[in-house]
Chain A
Amino acid sequence: DTGVSQNPRHKITKRGQNVTFRCDPISEHNRLYWYRQTLGQGPEFLTYFQNEAQLEKSRLLSDRFSAERPKGSFSTLEIQRTEQGDSAMYLCASSFNRDTEAFFGQGTRLTVV
């Protein structure tokens, strides 16, 4: 296992298009987290899953955002009708439980033009 994997690493899209990102967590980890990081800022929490259940969503996650984790394995984050303000690095992390270390992926950098 090589850690948390995120694809694609980079995505350029035109405003108004839909995009989907994928995160593959470390295999035995039942927690999966999504964060967004804009330039010059720390990551901001978006949502998290325990197995397939989405347990918390940030107010940052507008109706245009949706995340899924079917069967408690990989997760997808979809952004519909992208806006320039969505340009950011989207980070995924996973952990075995809430008391253990969260491991981060390298992120997907989204640029909306």
Chain B
Amino acid sequence: AQTVTQSQPEMSVQEAETVTLSCTYDTSENNYYLFWYKQPPSRQMILVIRQEAYKQQNATENRFSVNFQKAAKSFSLKISDSQLGDTAMYFCAFMSFGNEKLTFGTGTRLTIIP
């Protein structure tokens, strides 16, 4: 069974600064997807960024980028030029190619301080 670990329950950073959220996972599979989801206080989960394990290049979406280290089973999220709207719970998630369920970590509560 796959597991996803987020070791930072809470983080805070000043507006405009850069912050990195950590995620590690455990799997014996070679082909899978990794995701970062954002859950603002309104509770609707939103996909931030996605990485296919077979791609060596790290995914980037505007101010959001990942550092994917497959051998270390690490998948961190970097948020640059943080904005007040980035305040939310952030969940790291895993999905193997073989099935369609997402396995989530316990989340990191990120607060952007004005």
Contact = CB atoms under 8 A, between A and B. Distances in A.
A45 B94 CA distance: 12
A74 interface: no
A107 B99 CA distance: 23
Interface in B96-110: 99-107
Interface residues of A, number: 24
A85 interface: no
A83 B107 CA distance: 26
A75 B46 CA distance: 21
Contact of A42 (B50, B99, B104): B104
A29 B100 CA distance: 14
A106 B43 contact: yes
Nearest to B101: A45
Given A56-B99, A56-B101, A89 B43 contact: yes
A78 B46 CA distance: 25
A58 B4 CA distance: 17
B102 A102 contact: yes
Given A43-B91, A101-B50, A48 B45 contact: no
Interface string A89-103: 101010000100111
B62 to A, nearest CB: 16
Contact of A33 (B101, B104, B106, B107): B101
Nearest to B46: A104
Nearest to A103: B47
Interface in B65-114: 91, 93, 99-107
Interface of B: 4, 42-47, 50, 91, 93, 99-107
Given A33-B100, A104-B44, 6 more contacts: A40-B107, A41-B106, A42-B106, A45-B101, A55-B100, A101-B47
Interface of A: 31, 33, 35, 40-45, 48, 55-56, 58, 89, 91, 93, 98, 101-107
12 contacts: A41-B106, A41-B107, A42-B4, A43-B45, A43-B104, A55-B100, A56-B101, A91-B45, A93-B45, A98-B100, A104-B45, A107-B43
